[in-house]
Amino acid sequence: MNARILAINILARVRATDAYLNVVLDTVLSETPPKDPRDAALVTELTYGATRRQLALDYAITRFADRKLDALEDKVLAALRVGAYQLFHTRVPARAAVAETVQALKDVGLARAAGFVNAILRKLSELPSPPLPSQKDPVEYLSVRESHPRWLVERWIRQFGRERAEAMLVANNLPPAVVIRANSAKVTRDALLAQLKDVGVEARATEASPVGIVLPPVGRVEDVYGYAEGLWQVQDEAAQLVGVYGAIPESARVLDACAAPGGKACHQAETHDVVAVDLHANKLRKIEAEAHRLGLSGRLKAYAHDASEPFPEGWGEFHALVVDAPCSGLGTLRRHPELRYRRKEEDVARLATLQRRILENCQEAVPAGGLLVYAVCTPEPQEGQDQVDMFLRSHPEWTAEPPVLPGLKLPLAQAWLRTLPGPEGYDGFFAARLRKLY
């Protein structure tokens, strides 16, 4: 099956089922792998690109469509977006972009819409660049140019200032590099870097994380040296920094209260005994499979449990908890581009309430002298810093205690670990390291 057919099918399925793009893409590519690996790369670029740029593409398509885009069949709208993306953001010659997209639409059984799609794509192909609204309304202009909903642009300008907000929007439209964490239970970062070099992979060390490696563009990560042997795990640098910044003493038994898919739990299990908990039992298999691949099964047990409810006494005592709470995920929009259109502003407050409930229950499980590392993958203060400030105000027995990590330069804001999307190349994360005094 060719790349454009797959891209149309994937985008249509994501729209119809509200599924995650990365999940549908992985499923489709493993069910119907294209013969040529370059086609897999093209499907990835077309689907991620068309989703990242969706709001701007729709703005352009709407100019020439004689009906509301919401009313279009999923595959017809998907074809328009895939076609428009190629015209504005790839080097595919315009004629080929239009003709092959229209042919793909026919091949998926929608020949009756071919004329409609062909006419719009041809009109778009005559434009020198994607149309934009007037700069007189700077929020609207940025919203369309960088393809983020207006409420989010307004909110980020208000919270982070115009310059940083714009940098965040731009960064969310760039594909992230693949970053891995060396599995310290098996190999040091330097040794892994040398081994990768020996097999011709020109990787480099991450700047802030002492355990991270940035891979060059690779095809399937599963085919890269050391994956099958469990020498490393894919993990964004900022997510690695949560484990580093947490600096949980090696003697501690750790409970990871919101663990799936298991990045931070496996990071801890390199050096600790870990109980990994997630609300959704179906996600535990992924945590266990990763622990197995990394050779960490002996140190990690996974259970389904609601972290806002008391933990079973039978699990024993824990000296440290990691609470990587469910959050708006607005720090990971470059990886989950569909999320920016699905999230609503009121989600931030709703999730902050859930985080508070989880935090309240988890703090009960920490003995005096123990640690709690709270983290979220969002730049929203309401879910991060404000959440922790409020917690500390109502819990005098807790204090914020940043770690002393000589030789490391972590991105800190006061006591907190904080990264924002932007030219630094991080996902947006917040983490607090809290100690129970009595």
Q: Residues forming the annotated binding site for S-adenosyl-L-methionine?
A: 258-264, 278, 306, 324
**Residue of the chain from 2, 22, 184, 308 that contacts ligand SAM (CB under 6 A):** 308
The answer to whether 234 contacts ligand SAM (rule: CB under 6 A) is: no
Q: How far is the CB of 326 from ligand SAM (least distance, A)?
A: 4
CA distances from 349 to 77, 149, 237, 276, 352 (A): 32, 18, 27, 26, 5
Q: Which lies closer to ligand SAM via its Cβ, residue 39 or residue 347?
A: 347
The answer to whether 262 contacts ligand SAM (rule: CB under 6 A) is: yes
**Residue of the chain from 136, 280, 393, 409 that contacts ligand SAM (CB under 6 A):** 280
Which is the catalytic residue, given 266, 327, 362, 377?
A: 377
Three-state helix/strand/coil letters over the chain: CCHHHHHHHHHHHHHHHCCCHHHHHHHHHHHCCCCCHHHHHHHHHHHHHHHHCHHHHHHHHHHHCCCCHHHCCHHHHHHHHHHHHHHHHCCCCHHHHHHHHHHHHHHCCCHHHHHHHHHHHHHHHCCCCCCCCCCCCHHHHHHHHCCCCHHHHHHHHHHHHHHHHHHHHHHCCCCCCCEEEECCCCCCHHHHHHHHHHCCCCCEECCCCCCEEECCCCCCHHHCCCCCCCCEEECCHHHHHHHHHHCCCCCCEEEECCCCCCHHHHHHHCCCEEEEEECCHHHHHHHHHHHHHCCCHHHEEEEECCCCCCCCHHHCCCCEEEEECCCCCCCCCCCCCCHHHHCCHHHHHHHHHHHHHHHHHHHHCCCCCCEEEEEECCCCCCCCHHHHHHHHHHCCCEEECCCCCCCCCCCEECCEEEECCCCCCCCCEEEEEEEECC
Closest by Cα among 320, 196, 212 to 269: 320
The answer to whether 264 contacts ligand SAM (rule: CB under 6 A) is: yes
The answer to whether 78 contacts ligand SAM (rule: CB under 6 A) is: no
Q: Which stretch binds ligand SAM (CB under 6 A): 222-230, 278-286, 341-349, 422-430?
A: 278-286
The answer to whether 347 contacts ligand SAM (rule: CB under 6 A) is: no
The answer to whether 258 contacts ligand SAM (rule: CB under 6 A) is: yes
**Residue of the chain from 278, 338, 383, 427 that contacts ligand SAM (CB under 6 A):** 278
Q: Which lies closer to ligand SAM via its Cβ, residue 281 or residue 405?
A: 281
How many whole angstroms separate alpha carbon 183 and alpha carbon 294? 7
**Residue of the chain from 14, 24, 192, 260 that contacts ligand SAM (CB under 6 A):** 260
Q: Which residue has the tokens 């015209």?
A: 87
**Residue of the chain from 131, 133, 295, 326 that contacts ligand SAM (CB under 6 A):** 326
Name the binding residues.
Answer: 258-264, 278, 306, 324
Asked if residue 83 lies in contact with residue 97, where contact means CB atoms within 8 angstroms, the answer is yes
Q: How far is the CB of 214 from ligand SAM (least distance, A)?
A: 19
Binding mask 358-377 for ligand SAM (x = CB under 6 A): x------------------x
CA distances from 373 to 141, 177, 246, 254, 408 (A): 39, 26, 6, 10, 18
The answer to whether 22 contacts ligand SAM (rule: CB under 6 A) is: no
Q: How far is the CB of 208 from ligand SAM (least distance, A)?
A: 17
Verify whether residue 377 is a known catalytic residue.
yes
Q: Which lies closer to ligand SAM via its Cβ, residue 105 or residue 320?
A: 320
The answer to whether 336 contacts ligand SAM (rule: CB under 6 A) is: no
The answer to whether 324 contacts ligand SAM (rule: CB under 6 A) is: yes
Q: How far is the CB of 405 from ligand SAM (least distance, A)?
A: 20
Tokens of 195: 């081994």
The answer to whether 259 contacts ligand SAM (rule: CB under 6 A) is: yes
Q: Which stretch binds ligand SAM (CB under 6 A): 87-95, 111-119, 303-311, 398-406?
A: 303-311
Q: Which stretch binds ligand SAM (CB under 6 A): 173-181, 253-261, 311-319, 362-370?
A: 253-261
The answer to whether 428 contacts ligand SAM (rule: CB under 6 A) is: no
Q: Which lies closer to ligand SAM via its Cβ, residue 239 or residue 300?
A: 239
Q: Which lies closer to ligand SAM via its Cβ, residue 72 or residue 255?
A: 255
The answer to whether 263 contacts ligand SAM (rule: CB under 6 A) is: yes
Active site residues: 377
Where does this chain bind ligand SAM (CB under 6 A)? 239, 257-264, 277-280, 283, 306-308, 324, 326, 358, 377
